[in-house]
Amino acid sequence: MPTPLIFTVVVLIWGTTWFAIKFQLGVVAPEVSLVYRFALAAACVFAYARATGSPLALSWRDHRFVALQGATLFCLNYWLTYLSTQFLTSGLVAVLFTSIIFFNLVNSLLIFRAPVEPRVIAAAAAGIIGVALLFLPELRAALDDPGILHGAGLALGATYLASLGNMAATRNTRGGLPVVTVNAYGMAYGAAGLAVIAALRGAPVAFDWHWPYVLSLLYLSLAGTSLAFGLYLALIRHIGATRASYSSVMFPVVARGVDGVRRLSLERAGAGWTCGTRRRERARARRRTRRAPLSGAAGSLAPRVGLEPTTCGLTVRCSTD
């Protein structure tokens, strides 16, 4: 698959997961939902590896680095991100997550001695500023929130852990480990870590069988985790962790677009329902007016009924002149 196509698919999938995550909140504790997500994703990737004949054997040394990738990229990163949404809006979390580009630049320099290109810094800064401007109203509103520092600390901590996961993924892909094998074990390690966190926090084990939760869980597990992370690690192998993280600048743009379409659809549906209700009310009013008897003196007249156009149809106009 061409690199531009991989990049586009990753952006579209992860840009829409922000919307799907909303259906995961409520009945089931976030930690437990994450366990379901990564356990199901790991099972699917293991099944795919078995079906395609991908080797599953790893050395103990490789297992340690795959476990590190699982702990940072598939466990702690997601847990802290979910915690940060209790204090920040999803838009502000998305803005803070774009800092992964700079974290990847620094970590690549410190760990792999990768050179830092000025044009890369300039492009990253421009992208982050653009995302910040897109969510400027939310940023201004958050400044008055006393929990912003706590939430920002959690979000930035999650982002730095994700960057460390990118570094572990870079080491694993450079070592020639199959992406499918790395993801399968990494997601399994991540699910196990999330299960330990859920147990330590005393999160009740529950499941929501309503279709919004089930469908969103399937989308997040199959598309948002199994497929997207497989493509993202392939992207790291092709262009490096820093350039692959440019996709984080595009996630919020796609998420904002999806949210805008959703709001517009709801507004149109609401307007249609309102107009329909008003038409039914006017129809009942006309029937009552036609059945009303003459009242008052002998020479009085029953109200004359007229119709006036409105934005939703016709309005009843009564007069007694």
Highest mean pLDDT among 148-152, 200-204, 308-312: 200-204
Count of helices and strands (H, E) across the chain:
14, 2
Q: Is residue 300 part of a domain?
A: no
Q: Is residue 313 part of a domain?
A: no
pLDDT at 161: 97
Q: Is residue 231 part of a domain?
A: yes
pLDDT at 106: 92
Q: Is residue 128 part of a domain?
A: yes
Q: Is residue 317 part of a domain?
A: no
pLDDT at 266: 61
Half-sphere CA count of 204, side-chain side, radius 13 A: 6
**Mean pLDDT of all residues in 40-57:** 95
pLDDT at 135: 81
Compute the mean pLDDT over every residue in the chain, rounded to the nearest whole number.
84
pLDDT at 22: 82
Domain count, the chain: 1
Q: Is residue 301 part of a domain?
A: no
Please give the residue that has the higher pLDDT: either 33 or 266.
33
**DSSP secondary structure string for all residues of 184-246:** HHHHHHHHHHHHHHHHHTT-------SHHHHHHHHIIIIIIIIIHHHHHHHHHHHH-HHHHTT
What pLDDT, in 10s, does the model give residues 158-201?
999 999 999 999 999 999 999 999 999 999 999 999 999 999 99
**Mean pLDDT of all residues in 225-241:** 93
pLDDT at 293: 55
pLDDT at 222: 96
pLDDT at 44: 97
- Contact (Cβ atoms closer than 8 angstroms) between residue 107 and residue 163: yes
Distance CA 112, CA 240 (A): 11
pLDDT at 260: 66
Burial profile 92-128: b = 16 or more Cβ within 10 angstroms, e = fewer? bbbbbbbbbbbbbbebbeeeeebeeeeebeeebeebb
Highest mean pLDDT among 87-91, 249-253, 277-281: 249-253
* pLDDT category of residue 296 using cuts at 50, 70 and 90: very low
From 11-20, 93-102, 143-152, the region with the lowest mean pLDDT: 143-152
276: pLDDT strictly greater than 60:
no
pLDDT at 259: 67
Longest dimension (CA), the chain: 104
**Mean pLDDT of all residues in 76-87:** 90
Please give the residue that has the higher pLDDT: either 306 or 264.
264
Q: What is the pTM of this model?
A: 0.77
From 61-75, 107-121, 192-206, the region with the lowest mean pLDDT: 107-121
* pLDDT category of residue 90 using cuts at 50, 70 and 90: confident
What pLDDT, in 10s, does the model give residues 237-272?
999 888 898 898 888 888 788 766 756 666 666 555
What pLDDT, in 10s, does the model give residues 127-158?
888 888 878 887 787 777 777 889 999 999 99
Q: Is residue 138 part of a domain?
A: yes
312: pLDDT strictly greater than 80:
no
Q: Which residues span the domain enclosing 70?
A: 3-269
Q: Is residue 298 part of a domain?
A: no
pLDDT at 320: 45
